[in-house]
Every structure is written in structure tokens, then in C-alpha cells.
Amino acid sequence: MNFTKMMLAATVLTAAAFGVQAADAPDYNGPSLDHKTAVAGTYKLDKTHAGVSFRIDHLGFSQFMGRFEDMDGTVTLNPTDLSKSGVVFNLETDSVDTNVDKLDDKLEGADFFDSAKFKAITFTSTKVEVTGTNPQGKSIGKVHGMLSLRGVTKPVVLDVVFNGHGESPFGGGQRIGFDGTTTIKRSDYGMNTLVPMVGDEVQIQFAVEFTKA
């Protein structure tokens, strides 16, 4: 199945999941891009619309990709003063998925995530700042925080795009959404196996939505 057909199938399945037929689809103009008009409060991760993936150099031949399947998080939003906003996010280390079972087992082992001992990767924000807007008019910024992995906690900075806020046409109340990236060195967290044959730098990408609690 080619990419276009895959995307069409995914759209149809999503609509079907909500009991929406194409002819009945509501008018929708998209979310508001002005973060200052968002509803303040606590938002919980919508796990059905959240993804975290990573890329790492594999012997110079490719930027190998994987993802995590199990995650949770909250955003405490103060739209008029984002410095008073905060994020807590967790990834379950035993949910790593590379589409290769043996590799997943290796990554969950003692040389890497050591999932038996360290159940989660946790990010806790310490500072939120807006740095401007992108060409699409979306707010962009940086979320500073502490990343805890394998018992080691170090500062990281997430580059974040605020995709907007509002209500989904399928219901569910107020919603906010973000895309973002960061890069860490795995050796900083005690994962030195196969460095530098397999890259030390790990690029992390995320696309997440939260709904108001």
C-alpha cells in the first residue's frame, strides 16, 4: 500500500471510530493559534493522539528510528504568563518499539534502558518561554527542564511548536497540541555500548495533544 492510500485509510478509520460519515463531517476551521486565549488549567495527555520517536546513527548507513508505545503526562497551562506553566512527561522504558523484537529486548536490557530497574524516563519542566512565531503563525518556544533516565538527571531544552487550542469537532472538551524536538547524548545517561559505532547523539521528536482535565 502506498503512502497516499495509507493516509486515506487512516482518515477513514479515524472517522469511523468516531461514528462520523464523510457526508456528516462537521465544519471545522482548526484551532486558535493564539496561546494567550487558551483556557487555563491542567491538561492530561491524550494517549490516542501522542507519539514520541527517536533517531540514531547506525554505523553511518542510516538514521535508525524507533518509538515508545506507552507514555503519560500533564500540562499546567497559564496562558497569560507561560513562565508559570509546567510540563511533566513519562515514557515507559519497556515500551520501546523498533519493529525488531530482538533489538527491543536488547534496548530494554542492562546495557541500555535497564527497564527492570528503571521503569520510566521522566521530563519535568523548569522554565517555559516563547521565542517567536513560525511562518505558519504558530508560537514557537523552548521548554527547559530536567530529564531523568537510568537514575541520572540532566538539563535538556525542548524546541516546541504550539499548534493551537480549542475544541475538537468530535467533542472531548478543550484541547491543546504541540510538536517538538530535542537532542541528547546517551552516554550522559550511562548508555555507552557501541559508541561511536552507533551514534552517541539521539534525536527525539514528539507530537502530542492534551485535553483539559
120 pLDDT above the threshold of 90: yes
Does the pLDDT of residue 188 top 70, yes or no? yes
Domain 31-212 has what CATH class?
Answer: mainly beta
Between the alpha carbon of residue 141 and those of residues 56, 75, 130, 133, 163, the distances in Å are 24, 15, 4, 8, 12
Closest CA to 139 of 42, 36, 67: 36
Q: Which of the four pLDDT bands, split at 50, 70 and 90, describes residue 82?
A: confident
Residue 96, CA distances (Å) to 115, 143, 149 in order: 10, 24, 14
- Over residues 27-52, mean pLDDT: 94
Do 57 and 74 meet the contact criterion of CB atoms below 8 Å apart? no
Query: How many residues in the chain?
Result: 213
The set of residues, in sequence order, having a beta carbon less than 8 Å from that of 117 and lying 6+ positions away, is 110, 151
Residue 4 has pLDDT above 50, yes or no: no
pLDDT band for 21, please (50, 70, 90 cuts): low
What's the pLDDT band for 106 if we cut at 50, 70, 90? very high
Backbone angles phi, psi at 169, to 5 degrees: -65, -10
- Predicted confidence at residue 27, as pLDDT, reads 81
pTM: 0.86
Structure confidence at residue 13 as a pLDDT band (50, 70, 90): low
Q: Rounded mean pLDDT of 95-122? A: 98
Percent of the chain with pLDDT over 90: 81
The share of the chain scoring above pLDDT 70, in percent, equals 88
**Per-residue pLDDT averaged across 28-52, rounded?**
95
Residue 100 reports pLDDT greater than 60: yes
The whole-chain average pLDDT of the chain stands at 91
Q: What's residue 7's pLDDT?
A: 47
